[in-house]
């Protein structure tokens, strides 16, 4: 199974349990569109994945300090609204509609983005 994850701080990160590749790609698109600066986002293959493919990992810690804080701000404030818009009526609306029977997979996929946003908010609050 492919897995997608993000390192938000030296202590905190998140494995996107339900969001998978579409939500991970949306997060990258939002960050690339909103975080100014010369450094690129560092996305590396996840080599600990089970058979079936290699996922990807985003490491925000490789960004210069100003871009890192900007990325945290984008994740904290803009990622969830972008994900909600994409999931409910946007380009990702059909990717998660039904997952595992009668459940709406969009709720769980949005939960992954909300968790990343909450971690980013907490890291920003701690760093002052």
Is pTM beyond 0.85 here? yes
pLDDT in tens, 9-22: 999 988 887 878 88
**Secondary structure of the chain in HEC code, one letter for each residue:** CCCEEEECCCCCEEECCCCHHHHHHHHHHHHHHHCCCCCCCEEEEECCCCCCCCEEEEEHHHCCHHHHHHHHHHHHHCHHHHHHHHHCCCCCCCCCCCCCCCCCHHHHHHHHHHHHHHHHHHHHHHHC
The 10s digit of each residue's pLDDT in 83-99 is: 999 998 888 888 776 65
């Amino acid at each position: 199974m492919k897995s997608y994850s993000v390192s938000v701080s030296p202590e905190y990160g998140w494995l996107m349990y339900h969001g998978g590749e579409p939500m991970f790609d949306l997060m990258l698109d939002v960050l690339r569109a909103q975080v100014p600066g010369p450094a690129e986002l560092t996305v590396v293959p996840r080599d600990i994945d089970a058979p079936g493919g290699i996922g990807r990992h985003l490491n925000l810690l490789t960004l210069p300090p100003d871009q890192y804080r900007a990325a945290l701000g984008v994740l904290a404030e803009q990622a969830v609204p972008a994900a909600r818009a994409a999931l409910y009526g946007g380009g990702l609306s059909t990717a998660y509609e039904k997952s595992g029977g009668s459940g709406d997979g969009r709720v769980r996929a949005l939960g992954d983005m909300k968790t990343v946003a909450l971690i980013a908010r907490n890291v920003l609050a701690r760093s002052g």
